[in-house]
C-alpha cells in the first residue's frame, strides 16, 4: 500500500528542523531511520503532510564521552551502538540491548532516538535507558529541557515530548562500584520485538551486597517501566540465588499485563518473573568477576 501524499524536507541542522516543525505544526512528523513511521504511513495509520528528515544532521550522529557521561545523538543507529568500543566498554548493557534489536537490516538503519520517541510497548531500548537512568534532551523553539527516562514514557506510544520538540541526545552517567548488567528478552520470531524484555543494572559494594539495582521491563505493559519492587527487594542484600528468586517474583506485581494474539497477560507476567530472575543472576555474576 502507498502512503498518502506528503512533502519531504531535509533539515540541515537541529535549528532548521525545529523551524520546520514550527512552520508546519501538527501536519509535520520527524523522519530519522523510518523503520516505524514509513510502515505506519503505508498502512495509512499516519498521514503527515510534511516529513522533516533529520537523518543527515551531523551533530545527531555522534557518540562522545565527557566527565564520565556518555552522550549519544538521536540518529545513531542500533548497529553503531552495539559495536562502538566506548559503549561496549563503559555501558555494556546498552550495547547488549542494541545487538538484540530486530535483524541486520533494522540495526543498520534504525535509530535510538526514533525507537525511544515512538515508545512501542515491545521496543528494547526503553528497558535499558530506564535501567541506566538516562536523561533525554528535547529541543524546540521554546528552548531546551532534559527529561529523565523514568518520566519520559507516559503510556502506549506516548512520551513526554511536546509538540514541536525534537529528541536530540540521550545521556548516560557512569555508575560507581563493581557493576554487572544483562538484557534478556523473549523474542517475537517474526518481528524480533520483545514479548517481554528485562534490563538489569546492578552494582555491588565492597562487602558484596547490592548498593544499586535498577530493573527496566518492556513488553509487559502498555509502556516500559521500572520494577521498583524488585529493586527494593535487592538493595542492601547479597545477590545470592535466594534473594534474587524472591525479588524477581514481584516483577509483574501491580501491572495490568498485556494480552494479544501472541500470548496472554498471564504468560507475559510469568515471562517477566523468569527473565528478571535470569537477568539478575547474570548481572550479579558479572559484577563479581
pLDDT mean by block of 10 residues, the chain; 289 residues: 91 97 95 86 92 95 92 97 96 97 93 95 97 98 97 96 96 89 96 96 93 97 98 97 98 96 96 98 95
Angle between helices 241-248 and 265-287 (to 10 degrees): 150
> Rounded to whole angstroms, what are the CA distances from 155 to 9, 47, 65?
29, 22, 31
pLDDT at 69: 94
Q: What is the DSSP string of 5-66?
A: P-EEEE-SSHHHHHHHHHHHGGGEEEESS-TTHHHHHHTTS---SEEEE-TT-GGGS-EEEE
Condensed to tens digits (0 to 9), the pLDDT of residues 225-264 reads 999 999 999 999 999 999 999 999 999 999 999 999 999 9
Homologous superfamily of 178-287:
CO dehydrogenase flavoprotein, C-terminal domain (3.30.390.50)
Cα 51–4–166 angle (5° rounding)?
A: 20
Q: Where are the domains of the chain?
A: 7-53, 60-173, 178-287
pLDDT at 68: 84
- Copy the grid coordinates of residue 254: 501491580
* Helix/strand/coil for 140: strand
CA–CA dist 252, 272 (Å, integer): 6
Condensed to tens digits (0 to 9), the pLDDT of residues 107-146 reads 999 999 999 999 999 999 999 999 999 999 999 999 999 9
Residue bearing cell 507476567: 269
If you classify domain 7-53 with CATH, what class do you get?
alpha beta
> Rounded to whole angstroms, what are the CA distances from 210 to 15, 198, 286?
44, 18, 13
CATH 3.30.450.40 assigned to 60-173: no
pLDDT at 162: 95
pLDDT at 262: 92
Note whether 7-53 and 178-287 share their fold: no
pLDDT at 174: 86
Amino acid at each position: 500500500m502507498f502512503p498518502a501524499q506528503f512533502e519531504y524536507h531535509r533539515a540541515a541542522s537541529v535549528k532548521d528542523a525545529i523551524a520546520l516543525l514550527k512552520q508546519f505544526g501538527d501536519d509535520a512528523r520527524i523522519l530519522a531511520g523510518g523503520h516505524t513511521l514509513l510502515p505506519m504511513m503505508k498502512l495509512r495509520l499516519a498521514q503527515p503532510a510534511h516529513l522533516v528528515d533529520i537523518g543527515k544532521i551531523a551533530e545527531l550522529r555522534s557518540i562522545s564521552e565527557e566527565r564520565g557521561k556518555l552522550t549519544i545523538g538521536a540518529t545513531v543507529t542500533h548497529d553503531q551502538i552495539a559495536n562502538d568500543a566506548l559503549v561496549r566498554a563503559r555501558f555494556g548493557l546498552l550495547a547488549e540491548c542494541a545487538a538484540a534489536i530486530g535483524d541486520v537490516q533494522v540495526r543498520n538503519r534504525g535509530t535510538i532516538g526514533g525507537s525511544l520517541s515512538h515508545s512501542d510497548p515491545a521496543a528494547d531500548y526503553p528497558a535499558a535507558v530506564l535501567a541506566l537512568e538516562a536523561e533525554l534532551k528535547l529541543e524546540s523553539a521554546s528552548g531546551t529541557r532534559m527529561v529523565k527516562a523514568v518520566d519520559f514514557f507516559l503510556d502506549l506510544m506516548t512520551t513526554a515530548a511536546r509538540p514541536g520538540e525534537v529528541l536530540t541526545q540521550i545521556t548516560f552517567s557512569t555508575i560507581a562500584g563493581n557493576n554487572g548488567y544483562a538484557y534478556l528478552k523473549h523474542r517475537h520470531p517474526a518481528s524480533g520485538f520483545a514479548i517481554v524484555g528485562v534490563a538489569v543494572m546492578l552494582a555491588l559494594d565492597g562487602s558484596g551486597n547490592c548498593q544499586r539495582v535498577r530493573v527496566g521491563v518492556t513488553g509487559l505493559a502498555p509502556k516500559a517501566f521500572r520494577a521498583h519492587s524488585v529493586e527494593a527487594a535487592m538493595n542492601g542484600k547479597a545477590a545470592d540465588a535466594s534473594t534474587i528468586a524472591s525479588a524477581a517474583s514481584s516483577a509483574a506485581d501491580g501491572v495490568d499485563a498485556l494480552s494479544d494474539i501472541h500470548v496472554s497477560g498471564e504468560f507475559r507476567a510469568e515471562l517477566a518473573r523468569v527473565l528478571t530472575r535470569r537477568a539478575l543472576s547474570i548481572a550479579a555474576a558479572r559484577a563479581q568477576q
